[in-house]
Structure formats: C-alpha cells, structure tokens
Amino acid sequence: MVTLTQLEYIVAVDTYRHFGKAAEHCFITQPTLSMQIKKLEEDMEVIIFDRSKQPLIPTDIGQRIIEQARVVLKQSEEITNIVKEHKNQVSGLIRIGIIPTLAPYLLPLFVGHYKRKYPNILIKVEEQTTENIIKLLHKDLIDVGVLVTPLEEEKINEKPLFYEEMLIYANKNHPLHQKEKIHVEDIAIPEIWLLSDGHCFRHQVVNLCSYLGTANGELPFYFEAGSLETLMNIVDNEGGITLIPELAKNGMSKERLANVISFSNIKPLREVSLSYSRHFAKHKLINLMLNEIKETIPDFMLDKERGTVVKWR
C-alpha cells in the first residue's frame, strides 16, 4: 500500500534530483530513503527513477506518478487547513518568491503589517527572476510568487493585485524634458539603459517600444543592470533614459521626481499578480496576503482600465 511518506520521498528526490539532498530535506538517512523508494517501486512493479542517469531523472511512468503524488500531498495538506479554518486559526509557513523590480518597493508596504496582524504565520521571502519563480512553483519549493503576469502557464493560477504604470526616468538634461508630448517611439533610442536579460521588466520595455537592438550605441559604456536603482543612478550621472515602474516613485526625492515623465499617447501598465500552483493548499494564507497587499496600494492602481497592459512574454 502506498503511503504519504513514500510519496513525500519520491517528490523530494524529483525536486532535488539527488538521493542525498532529498534525504537531508526529509530528515532521514539516505539508505532509509532509498529503501523506501525501492520498496514502493517493487510494490507497484514499476521503475520510478532512472538511476543510470546523472543527474537522476524520473522514467516516463515515474514522472506521471510524481505529478499525481504532488497533487495527493497538496490535498492531504488541505485537510489540515480545513481544520485550522474551522478552529479560526491563522498559522503556517508561507514561502514567497518576488521579482527584483517589485521587492524593494512592494515588500516594505505590506510584509511587516501582514506579519504583525498574523504573528503565527512564518514568512520566508526570496528575490528571484520570473523564470526562477515559475520553476520553484512547479517544484513546490515556494508557495506563491509575486510577479508580473500574464504568465500563461498551464499549471499556475494568477490572482491580479494591481496595475502600475511604466514611466520614463530621464537625466535632467535629456531632450525629452523639453517635449510637450512624448510617444512610445521617442524612447526607442540608443541612449536607453536596460535591465539585464532575465528580468521581465526588460522584456516589457522591449515589447513596448519594439526595440530593435540599438541600445548602448550612444552610451559611455556597455552595461546591463540587475536593479532599477542602479539604472537610475547611472542615468543621473551618465545621462540617457530608462524606464521604471510606478511604485519606484515611492520615497523618491524631489530632484528625482522631476526626472520622471509619463507617456502622452498611451498609459502602459504592468499587471502584478500573486501566482501559485493549481494544487496550492494554503488558500486562506494567500487570500489574507492578497487583501493585505491591496489595502496598501492606492485605489487607482487597482483599476485595469486606466491603461494598456504590456505583455512581457
């Protein structure tokens, strides 16, 4: 008979693709874990993992079993959550992945309030690119991602939070400050600084202005930053322009706010959502988190109709 413990073991091995690391995660010895998985394979008369490959990979039938095991484990966790909700308890661990272009601006707005309001919730946050968050969600290594959507991922649900405007940040001496009306084509210029590849905001900028690869042609040096703050510092000191999301204005000095420009012919938006596996069991925790974030965001940013959502994929 298959046990939940055996299912936990095969899911751990699939996640880490290594018996030793999986055993460490499950707080057991490697021989014990290997023996339990071997017994499961013998009982079902199938091979779940191809041990001849490095790193370890599941067989075709093994992959199907592991996918169903993840569903079963999430459903078993839901039983515990039902009992907690019945007893009106708010507790548990929530593991959050958040993209770097949101973390420094959004986290300070809500995470402290969320923890103080629900002190029995253990919150773990890590900053990751969107693609890494998607991988971590698929492997159940995080519970929820705070990122830009739509993702259009088959096994991931999305709950939109708010819609923030994409704004121009231009050096104080840049000619854009002299223009009465600024159109999207005005930013498709060689002196635009971009985030490094892998950041969804970079792809949104490229999609927005149909950028054709002329970046850095009139810049003092070639550089692709990992943070918006770095880009703004470079624009301040070296010239040129970049794009920033609306929340980046929070806490800006008056000098910097004077460098922020809106488009005249369009209001480009990025949709920020909570994303989670379709088998996610901690629905109460995520709904409380969603409400907490929405309470900290200005009402006008909750309105999707105030502009045009720019896709990044």
* Residue 54 predicted with pLDDT over 60: yes
Give the H or E element holding residue 271.
strand 268-277
Nearest to 23 by CA among 38, 14, 33, 11: 33
Claim: this prediction has a pTM higher than 0.85: no
Lowest average pLDDT, out of 27-31, 175-179, 210-214, 309-313, goes to: 210-214
93-137 pLDDT tens trace? 889 999 999 999 999 999 998 989 888 888 999 999 999 999 999
Contacts of residue 292, defined as CB under 8 A and 6 or more positions apart, other chains included, come to: 110, 113, 114, 117
Residues of the chain with CATH 3.40.190.10: 89-159+277-303, 164-268
Domain 89-159+277-303 class in CATH: alpha beta
Check residue 287 and give its pLDDT: 87
Mean pLDDT score of the chain, rounded to an integer? Answer: 87
Nearest to 200 by CA among 264, 154, 245, 155: 245
CA angle 95, 99, 105 (to 5 degrees): 100
Check residue 222 and give its pLDDT: 61
How many CB atoms lie under 10 A from the CB of residue 132? 17
Are the CB atoms for 94 and 286 separated by under 8 Å? yes
Domain 164-268: CATH superfamily, name plus number:
Periplasmic binding protein-like II (3.40.190.10)
Q: To which residue do tokens 């985030």 refer?
A: 195
Beta strands (DSSP E) in 136-248 are 144-149, 156-170, 241-245
Stronger pLDDT, 190 or 164, i.e. the higher one: 164
* Residue 170 predicted with pLDDT over 90: yes
Check residue 212 and give its pLDDT: 46
Residues of the chain with CATH 1.10.10.10: 4-85
* Residue 86 predicted with pLDDT over 60: no
Check residue 25 and give its pLDDT: 87
Stronger pLDDT, 246 or 92, i.e. the higher one: 246
| SS3 assignment for 87-105 | CCCCCEEEEEEECCCCHHH
Is the torsion defined by CA of 169, 170, 171, 177 positive or negative? negative
Return the percentage of the chain with pLDDT > 90, whole number.
41
136-167 pLDDT tens trace? 998 888 999 999 999 988 889 999 999 999 99
Are the CB atoms for 250 and 167 separated by under 8 Å? no
* CATH of the domain spanning 4-85, picked from 1.10.390.10, 1.10.3720.10, 1.10.10.10, 1.10.4080.10: 1.10.10.10
At position 72, the amino acid (one-letter code) is V
Q: What is the C-alpha to C-alpha distance for residues 98 and 293, in angstroms, rounded to an integer?
A: 13
Lowest average pLDDT, out of 56-60, 193-197, 262-266, goes to: 193-197
Nearest to 128 by CA among 163, 157, 156, 95: 95
Check residue 218 and give its pLDDT: 59
